[in-house]
Chain A
Amino acid sequence: MNENTPVLSMQNIEKAYYGNKVLKGVSLEVMPGEIHAICGENGAGKSTLMNILFGMPVIHNTGGFSGTISMDGEQVSIKHPSDAMKLGIGMVHQEFMLIPGFSIAENIKLNREPRKNGLLSTIFGKKLQKLDEDKMKSDSRAALDKLGLDVDEDIPVAGLPVGYMQFIEIAREIDKENVKVLVFDEPTAVLTESEAASLLAAMKKLAAEGVGILFISHRLDEVIDAADKVTIMRDGTWITTLNKKDTTMEHIAELMVGRKIDLSQKEESAKIDTSKVALSIRNMKVAMPGEVVRGLDLDVYKGEILGLGGLAGQGKIGVANGLMGIYPTEGEIMVGDKKLTLNNPKASIEAKLSFVSEDRRGVGLIPDTSIEMNMVIPAIVNQNRFLKKFGFMSQYDADAIRKNAENYIKELDIRCTGPTQPVRRLSGGNQQKVCIARALLLQPDVLLISEPTRGIDVGAKSLVLDTVVKLNKEYGLTVIMTSSELAELRLICDRIAIVTGGKITDILKPDDSDAKFGMAMSGISGKDGE
């Protein structure tokens, strides 16, 4: 093999989902023995790129992709994950794909078990061969030793610490005989610092043996530590590939975030009045799976738009869900000067908090029910509005509900055939407006709005954002907006708090530098004591 032939080369990869381009000509080369990091925000197209490399069905069910993939200089066609495996591409998954009841050795050799002949197989043929358990164990031992993991290969996977599970995943990949390229998709996300360090060491060891490694991580310090080269992606485009020695953490952070933001759109915000606190959060812990909040402190001032930013899985989504009592929450939360009863959505609504959920279809709407009913249900239930009383019975007031829906349809410009249309049939942007209407109907003091523009098209995005700004300006509504899109936070927020690891790392101004945002998102606090 020529030392200068990349073991993996992806050229001009383009991919569209339903007309929406998510990869716009990305190219990438990995040399044997090289650790190549890929950095980018959520939605930059990293996982789509990896799905293409593995021939995942989701790619081919949605019309395939364009561009070429070559290995060792020869063009290959990867139509299915089994093709990728045959070609020697291994993947260490972000979620563990291990069978808890099986032993470590069984997991490592899963579906590739060495077999030997036994009584049944001589009669009934190959399908009934016995497993060669000794060979399974010795192979597994060898793979584990290579990673420096000192654990008995006979014990079951269930109950092992997550760090070990990660190593077993890796052992499974390196046990495959022909592995040439290994992909690590955020391998350190669930590991403790010392585990992460030994994982990086194992990665370097593997690279030294000539395996090409693709390393996806949000932790920039790890990238700087381990990678030889860094490719940066943003919004589906290839930005640049750098040698590690030519760059710094700040530089990568800036390139990752670096969107040109038209700050002229935002009018000079009046000085925030820091004397009135609308919401004060102390030591808040929220057990929301995947978005855990771990002891967060935050003050929200009356009349401001506060942005909550940060990478996915770091806990920003958990804050609003915790405030609304949807996921188990601890801590001390004051709304105005009253203490909020936790873990009770009704109490949160009564405290004049109102929520537009990030999970529009799951939490935000009753899909098969009409627009008008979707708007009024919380108001009926919590505030006894839109009801007519008949003795001990009540009946909803159809006329008032219809009138209300017509008002909001006009005011928020909801495109629909009428108030009785099921919300399922609305476009994402219009569904979002229905959610906003419902939240406003509760006459909140503080509006919590999460991922308001997720999954809606560009035109609708600005309409939704304009609505938020308008509400803030005209009615002095305090808004906490949670979003994965830093650009939109910087567009409309007065202050932006970045949540990393379930805590606020920094509170920034919208016009702070890209590098500052990038650093805060990778968990490095810019200021002391914040």
Chain B
Amino acid sequence: MEQLKKNIKAIGLPRIIIVAFLFVLIILAVVQQQNMGTLASDVLVRFGMNMVLSLAMLPAVMAGTGMNYGLPVGLLCGILGGLVSIEIGFRGGVGLVMAMVIAIPLAIAAGYLYGKLINAVQGDEMMVGTYVGYAVVSLMCMGWLILPFKDPAMIWPIGGSGSGLRSTITLSDNYDGILNNLFAFEIGGVTVPTGLILFGLIACGLVYLFSRSKTGICLKAVGDNPRFAVASGISVKKSRMIGTILSTVLGAVGIIVYAQSFGFYQLYNAPLNMAFPPVAAVLLGGATGRVCKISHVILGTFLFQALLTIALPVANQLMPEGGLSEVIRIVVSNGIILYALTQSGGEGDA
């Protein structure tokens, strides 16, 4: 009994509840005779394509700025990088790499400015971050219209030569699914997107190595106890700046990975609420506003995406009335996010 209690404490009650919920859904799906092979493949794909985005939360939490609700700053840099790479004419694998190569310096610059702001509002990072996200997304809504992109595949076919970027930019004849299909194999009706998951795990590995470096230790000390850090001769502002920049860069890389799997870059209002699923994922994984580990990122992303992927077809079949599916999608995903946010107080001993 004691041992059981200890185990429950180690895993955390929220995770047990979520896993139980997931099992109920899986059983329901089996009963409904859903195509389990497709569902499992979808879960793996969504897990892989969201991993880097969730990982972006880690440096921010580590440096003590809390969850990075300003993630759209990074997302926009990533999208811009992707679009520029297409405009220049890079295609396929080179296009994907070039998208990142272009996006990363943009993200460093944007992260620097965002970090300046974060350092000016110590204590309110999450609230301010949320609104920074909203503000830059709206700003870029104008940007997408006036930026001088010329590729006819990307701009509205209106006026003489056309102007203004389309709201979705397809990657179908470009690097759509290039990571997903890399080393992909099928086993028992389940397609495993090896390349995609590998990329996510490598990113996690790099962040793990970073956390063990001198800079990483500084970040962690600042996040755990800023006063200790000051007394130890660590610059709190610099560390928070590094954490913010890193988080923004991971956001930029994350959205490019996400887009290659999704098949589209989504512009305009699409990035508006994209900070919430990664936040919810790491919180479900056991992270708090102060502690976030790689294990939280991987476990949380998997649980969150698995729940979303399985809940929708199951709910659709339970309530097959036409317009309800979209409503249910919103209720389920926001419900899970809400539940995750209520857990953000943390359990101390996790």
A interface vs B, CB < 8 Å? 324, 326, 345-346, 348-350, 355, 357, 359, 362-369, 373, 377-378, 380-382, 384, 387, 393-396
Contacts and interface: CB of A to CB of B under 8 A. Distances in A.
A381 B225 contact: no
Contacts of B232: 345, 349, 377-378, 381-382
Contact of B233 (A349, A384, A387, A394): A349
Which 10 pairs between the two chains have the least Cβ-Cβ distance? A346-B233, A378-B232, A366-B224, A345-B233, A363-B227, A349-B233, A394-B214, A366-B225, A382-B233, A394-B213
B217 A377 contact: yes
A393 B228 contact: no
B231 interface: yes
B295 to A, nearest CB: 16
A326 B213 contact: no
B234 interface: yes
B213 A395 contact: yes
Given A377-B217, A384-B214, A396-B217, A355 B224 contact: no
7 contacts: A326-B231, A363-B228, A363-B231, A368-B291, A378-B232, A380-B217, A394-B214
Contacts of A382: 232-233
A291 to B, nearest CB: 15
B218 interface: yes
A324 B234 CA distance: 12
Contacts of A384: 214
A148 B221 CA distance: 54
A381 B233 contact: yes
A384 B233 CA distance: 12
A345 B231 contact: yes
B230 interface: yes
B212 interface: yes
A378 to B, nearest CB: 4
Nearest to A387: B214
Contacts of B213: 393-396
A368 B212 CA distance: 17
B4 interface: no
A369 B221 CA distance: 9
B218 A357 contact: no
Interface string B203-225: 00000010011100110110011
A349 B225 CA distance: 18
A368 B224 contact: yes
B221 A377 contact: yes
Given A346-B233, A377-B232, A381-B234, A362 B214 contact: no
A345 B214 contact: no
Contacts of B235: 346
A373 B220 CA distance: 11
Given A367-B225, A369-B224, A326 B230 contact: yes
Contacts of A345: 230-233
Contacts of A326: 230-231
Interface string B162-194: 000000000000000000000000000000000
Nearest to B233: A346
Contacts of B220: 369
Contacts of A381: 214, 217-218, 221, 232-234
A326 B232 CA distance: 10
Given A349-B232, A380-B214, 4 more contacts: A364-B228, A365-B228, A382-B232, A396-B213
A350 B221 CA distance: 19
A444 to B, nearest CB: 13
Contacts of A387: 214
Contacts of B217: 373, 377, 380-381, 396
B226 to A, nearest CB: 10
Which of B220, B224, B225, B234: most chain A Cβ within 10 A?
B225
Contacts of A373: 217
A387 B218 CA distance: 13
Contacts of A355: 231
A394 B210 CA distance: 8
Q: Which of A348, A357, A366 gathers most chain B CB within 10 Å? A: A366
Count chain A CB atoms within 10 A of each CB in B217, B220, B233 and give the residue with the most.
Answer: B233
A355 B227 CA distance: 13
A266 B28 CA distance: 78
Contacts of B227: 359, 362-363
A326 B229 CA distance: 10
Contact of A324 (B218, B231, B291): B231
B14 to A, nearest CB: 19
A177 B208 CA distance: 68
A441 to B, nearest CB: 11
Residue among A348, A377, A395 with most chain B CB within 10 A: A377
Contacts of B221: 366, 377, 381
Nearest to A374: B228
A393 B209 contact: yes
A396 B224 contact: no
A357 B230 CA distance: 12
B123 to A, nearest CB: 16
B296 to A, nearest CB: 15
A345 B235 CA distance: 9
A133 B232 CA distance: 56
Contacts of A380: 214, 217
A367 B217 CA distance: 15
Interface centre among B209, B217, B220 (most CB of A within 10 A): B217
Contacts of A394: 213-214
B214 A378 contact: no
